[in-house]
A and B are shown apart, each in its own frame.
Chain A
Amino acid sequence: MTALRHEARLALAIAAKDARAELRGRHALVSTLFFAAIVLLLFGFALGPDRSRLSEAAPGLLWLALVFAGILAVSRLHLLETDDGALEQLALYPVPRRTIYAGKALAGFAVMGVLGLIVLGAVAVLFGASVGESIVPLLVTLLLGIIGIAAVGTFYAGLTVRLPSREVMLPLLMLPVLAPLLLGAVKATAAALAGDPFGELGAWLQLLVAFDVVMVTAGAATYGYLLEDG
Chain B
Amino acid sequence: MKTRIVGWVAFAAVTLMVLVALFVVPADLNQGDAQRIMYPHVASAWLAYLSFGVTALAGIGWLWRRDLRFDSVALAGAEIGVMFTAFAIWGGMMWGRPVWGVFWQWEDPRLTTTALLLALYVGYLLLRRLTDDPDRRATRAAIVGIVAAVDIPIVHFSVEWWRGLHQTATIGSPDKILNPAAPAQFVLTLVGMVLAFTLVWTYLMIRRYQLAQADLANEEAARVDRIMEARAVEASR
User: Which residues of A does B touch, CB under 8 Å?
Assistant: 155, 159, 163-165, 169, 172-173, 175-177, 179-180, 183-184, 187, 198, 200, 203-204, 207, 210-211, 214-215, 218-219, 222, 225-226, 229-230
Contacts and interface: CB of A to CB of B under 8 A. Distances in A.
A176 B116 contact: yes
A175 B140 CA distance: 17
B49 to A, nearest CB: 16
Interface in B49-90: 63
Contacts of A175: 119
B157 to A, nearest CB: 7
A169 B142 CA distance: 16
25 contacts: A155-B147, A163-B127, A164-B130, A169-B126, A169-B130, A173-B127, A176-B116, A176-B120, A176-B123, A177-B147, A177-B148, A179-B155, A180-B154, A180-B159, A183-B159, A187-B165, A203-B161, A215-B150, A218-B147, A218-B150, A219-B147, A225-B63, A229-B136, A230-B136, A230-B140
A225 B139 contact: yes
Nearest to B148: A177
Given A163-B130, A164-B130, A177-B151, A207 B143 contact: no
Interface of B: 63, 116, 119-120, 123, 126-127, 130-131, 135-136, 139-140, 142-144, 146-148, 150-151, 154-155, 157-159, 161-162, 165
A198 B165 contact: yes
A180 B126 contact: no
B140 A187 contact: no
Given A225-B63, A230-B140, A187 B162 contact: yes
Given A172-B123, A180-B158, A222 B143 contact: yes
Nearest to A214: B150
Contacts of A204: 161
A226 B226 CA distance: 28
Nearest to A219: B147
B144 A159 contact: yes
A229 B131 CA distance: 11
A218 B135 CA distance: 21
Contacts of A187: 162, 165
B150 A159 contact: no
B155 A180 contact: yes
B78 to A, nearest CB: 14
B151 A180 contact: yes
A164 to B, nearest CB: 6
Contact of A229 (B139, B158, B159): B139
Given A169-B126, A226-B143, 15 more contacts: A176-B151, A180-B155, A187-B165, A207-B154, A207-B158, A211-B154, A214-B154, A215-B150, A218-B147, A225-B63, A225-B139, A229-B135, A229-B140, A230-B136, A230-B139
